[in-house]
Structure 1
Amino acid sequence: SLKPETSWNKEIGFEFANDKVQASMAYFHNDYRNKIVAGDKAVMLSQLGNYMYQWTNARKALVEGVEGNLTLPLHRTLKWTTNFTYMHKSINKDTGNPLSVTPKFTINSSLNWQPTEKLDAALNITYYGKQKPRTVILNNAERNTGLSGETVKPYGLVGISAGYRFNNHVNLRLGVNNLFNKKLYRSSNNSSAQSYNEPGRAFYGSLKVSF
């Protein structure tokens, strides 16, 4: 069974804010114990001949990088918000391999439009940097088959949403995630960086009623 993650986090940075602009940047260094990572031991063989693995704990792991935020009003009704994370290091110290599902950088940007007090709309873009595969062989199965070397290339996702506040008690919101139906599929090779599925376009709606 998996153990809970624990970490010792260190961060230093700055923040600026006035009536219009908000900006911040910080360096972070996180040392983990029992970090949950993709396992390296096969637990079974599928009918298609692929090895099946399960999540496990790494005794020690390190995540280090820089993150920042910027908020700018472009118009009385329009606001632009962007945040980014750049990963300088993201490694499993037990093996020397990169941690699973960790892009080199991630950028989230949103454009929020609010023409009235009741109506608002948003355009959201998330861009993920390159994700590298493991480089260290960990078991006999990988010695026989070799490492895949398959990376995940940078890609972006777009979402849109709109909301309407009928009164102080009722709010409606509708939206679309992954507007352009970008899809990624998990690789059958455990050493590949493609260790997850990216679902296609999805529609959602919410109705909030408060008393």
Structure 2
Amino acid sequence: MVLLFPTILDLATVKKDHLAFNYKFDDRFKFSYMFNKKKYTTNYNDVNENILQHFMYDDREHYAQIAYNDENGWDAKIYYNQRRIENPDYYVVNPTNVEWEKSDHKQYGLDTKKVWRSDKATGLIGISAKRETYKNDNQKFKTFGDSSSILKDPAHFGTYALNNYSVYGSYDRKLSRATNIIFSAREDLIRSEAGDYNEFLPQIQAITKFDEHNSVYASVGKSFRMPTFRNLYYASSVVVPNPDLEAEHGWNYEIGYKYSENGRRLNLTAFRIDIKDQIVAVKNLVDNQSYQTNAAKYRNTGIELRYEQDVDKHFTYNVGAVFAKPQRMYKEGQAWIDTLGRYQINGGVNYVNRDFSAALNLSYWGNRFKNGVSSEKITVTEISSPLLVSNLHLGYNVAKNVTATFDVDNLFNRKDIANVGGTSNNNLYYTMGRTFRVGVNYNF
């Protein structure tokens, strides 16, 4: 069983709490529970720059699961997940007029599967059932961000519900001493207020080993994604719902090469993604309101390279890069436009020595694009600076079952542009400054 008690504190404006609990009844049954809490607070002036306001965001998540696994290939789980958000958006420090919001998102269901193995093949078949519900209650200012304006009438959304029933399976067959081929498929039956869907999702993979160190692989598979209830129905002063949002469908293609020998690992992959009705978030260029929409098409072609090496029994490092050209067509017949990012460079080092461990990971994102949409036009804004994500982790086993941890996010305290809102770089969202996380893990 593991208990984790880390907390993040950033000048009393950001606090994150985490608790994890695992209990093993016997060799077949186990129970797990996890709780996450995130609370953000800050003070600022309202849109008129003359009334001090306070922002608070309280986000709590619960995950519970009972799992069963035995030596005969049976695997099953029953789960329950809940996310509750309370968000008194904007109010005067001594409030007489309070804007507020509460939402509750639940998922619960079961998933069970059976695996068969022989000398030449492995088969799997499974079934799952899930129910998902969402509701939201809020009361907003009539004028966005202005706490001196009157409140609108309370708004209620939901409870909305979705039922998802699935049958899935796979078959891994050895064609020769060097080659395996894997067929897999999933049939999803979805029933909800957003519409009914029957989706068949096939995939085929092939792997050929030239020797024990070198291999090549290829994969083709279909993807499917439903819009969330919040995408469909949630509304506020700056968010517009889209109950007509469609599910997205696509195909993913991948071919690659792997090498592994003497602590060195290399992976080179070429990929292609084609999606229809992609669900994307945009801002209207006229009223600056955000909403979800279906882009007619999305495509992305690129390559990914990753190299890892174990220098010795204590020290390892990795480097990698992704170069791609993601593009969207928002309406059928329009031109393809650039979106997201063109390249990403990653690197990391890890060190372990007896009771001490350390890890540093960096990720550099460049040549990024943001799209804005209105009924008249589509814009492409290139974000003016790159983004550097940096994380440091330190751990020390202070006792037999106790590990102390220390983490730093945004190690170099950079103020990078995380995203662009609206139509220009005058409306920016920046990364959070350097934050620290201290934790204690207890195993028993």
Alpha-carbon distance, 1:180 to partner: 1.4
Check if 1:26 corresponds to 2:269. yes
CA spacing shift, 1:27–1:167, aligned 2, 3 Å: farther
CA spacing shift, 1:23–1:58, aligned 2, 3 Å: same
Q: Is the 8 A contact 1:71 1:79 kept in 2?
A: yes
CA spacing shift, 1:38–1:177, aligned 2, 3 Å: same
CA spacing shift, 1:208–1:131, aligned 2, 3 Å: same
- Which blocks of at least 5 consecutive residues in structure 1 are unaligned? 46-50
**Residue matched to 2:348:** 110
User: Could you say which structure has the larger radius of gyration?
Assistant: 2
Rounded Cα–Cα distance in structure 2 between residues aligned with 1:56 and 1:168:
53
Mapping of residues 103-142 of structure 1, within 5 Å: 103-116=341-354, 118-134=355-371, 138-140=374-376
**Residue matched to 1:83:** 320
State TM-score, norm by structure 1: 0.76
Q: Is the 8 A contact 2:359 2:393 kept in 1?
A: yes
State TM-score, norm by structure 2: 0.39
Alpha-carbon distance, 1:86 to partner: 1.0
Q: Is the 8 A contact 1:148 1:191 kept in 2?
A: no
Rounded Cα–Cα distance in structure 2 between residues aligned with 1:126 and 1:111:
12
Alpha-carbon distance, 1:105 to partner: 0.8
Rounded Cα–Cα distance in structure 2 between residues aligned with 1:113 and 1:81:
12
- Which blocks of at least 5 consecutive residues in structure 2 are unaligned? 1-231, 233-244
Residue by residue over 1:59-118, the C-alpha shift from the partner in whole angstroms, topping out at 9 and shown as x without a partner, is 32112111121101233321101222111x21112352223xx221111211111122x2
Mapping of residues 1-211 of structure 1, within 5 Å: 1=232, 2-39=245-282, 41=284, 45=287, 51-87=288-324, 89-94=325-330, 96-99=336-339, 102-116=340-354, 118-134=355-371, 138-140=374-376, 149-166=381-398, 169-185=401-417, 186-190=419-423, 196-211=429-444
CA spacing shift, 1:152–1:14, aligned 2, 3 Å: same
Identity %: 23
Q: Is the 8 A contact 1:6 1:32 kept in 2?
A: yes
Alignment: residue pair count: 195
Q: Is the 8 A contact 1:53 1:190 kept in 2?
A: no
1:181 alignment partner AA: N
Q: Is the 8 A contact 1:122 1:160 kept in 2?
A: yes
Q: CA RMSD in A?
A: 3.0
Q: Is the 8 A contact 1:130 1:154 kept in 2?
A: yes
Rounded Cα–Cα distance in structure 1 between residues aligned with 2:247 and 2:412:
36
Structure with greater strand share of residues = 2
- Which of structures 1 and 2 has the larger relative contact order (alpha carbons within 8 angstroms, sep 6+)? 1
